[in-house]
Structures are given as C-alpha cells and as structure tokens.
Amino acid sequence: MDRKKFCQKLKRARIEAGLKQEDVARHLNLPISAVSVMEAGTRKVDVFELLKLADFYNKPVEWFFHEHNNIFRRRWYDLDPVLSESIELLRQAPTKMQRSAAHGIIGFLKQSDIDSNKQ
C-alpha cells in the first residue's frame, strides 16, 4: 500500500469514528497541524502513534494496510457475504450506533435461547 492510500485510511478512520482533528490531536498530545499533515501524507506516522490511533478509532492496525477487497478470507464472518457486509457496516457506524446494534443483537440472541439450539 502506498502512502497516499494509507493517509486516506487515516482520515477515513477518523471520520468513521466521528472525530475531529482536534480530538485526535488532543489524544496524541500533538498540535492539530500535526494531525493534518499526517492525513495529508507530509508527516510520517510512527508505530506508537499508529497503535494509539488504531485503538482510538476502534480499528485493528491491519485495517490501515489492507484494501478490504475480500481476497483474504480469514475471519469467521468472511465466509458468509451477509455477515461480512453487516460487520463492515457496523464498523463504519458511529460508536453510539454500534452500541445500540450490539444491544439489539444481544437481546435477540438471549431471547432466542441459542443455548438450546446447540447440538
């Protein structure tokens, strides 16, 4: 992956998390201009900053380096296109919406008594 795509992913992750550059700058203890030039590609992101960003954006570090074109199927939900799409949409949703969806899924699964369906 080239630097331009990596920087686009940095910006996309921030936007998907519903954060402003100011929020990220405060989290990294950097000036806002540093976040801006990171996303523009004129400043490198060191490993420790990337780890903090991944955690702050609620993304695995590998997310920043892959195209997500489903060539690499290695997660349990990648085997089913519906599950894969729903997980990806959930990742893109704001945190508040993610939590609401998670509560709905938990309630549904508890109500359906999935333990009794195990064989």
Instruction: Give Cα separations from 7 to 35, 57, 64, 101, 117 (angstroms).
Output: 11, 14, 9, 29, 46
Q: Mind listing the pLDDT tens digit for each residue in 60-114? A: 888 888 775 544 456 666 677 788 788 888 888 898 898 999 899 888 888 887 6
Quick one: which of 105, 3, 16 has its CA closest to 44?
3
pLDDT at 70: 46
Nearest-angstrom CA–CA distance, 7 and 50 = 11
Question: Which domains are assigned to the chain?
Answer: 3-65 (1.10.260.40), 76-117 (no CATH)
Cα-Cα end-to-end distance for the chain: 44
- At what angle are helices 81-92 and 95-111 packed, to 10 degrees? 140
25 pLDDT band, cuts 50/70/90, is very high
Nearest-angstrom CA–CA distance, 89 and 84 = 9
Mean pLDDT, the chain, integer: 85
Strongest mean pLDDT among 16-20, 26-30, 85-89, 95-99: 26-30
Rounded to a whole number of angstroms, the CA Rg of the chain reads 17
Nearest-angstrom CA–CA distance, 41 and 85 = 30
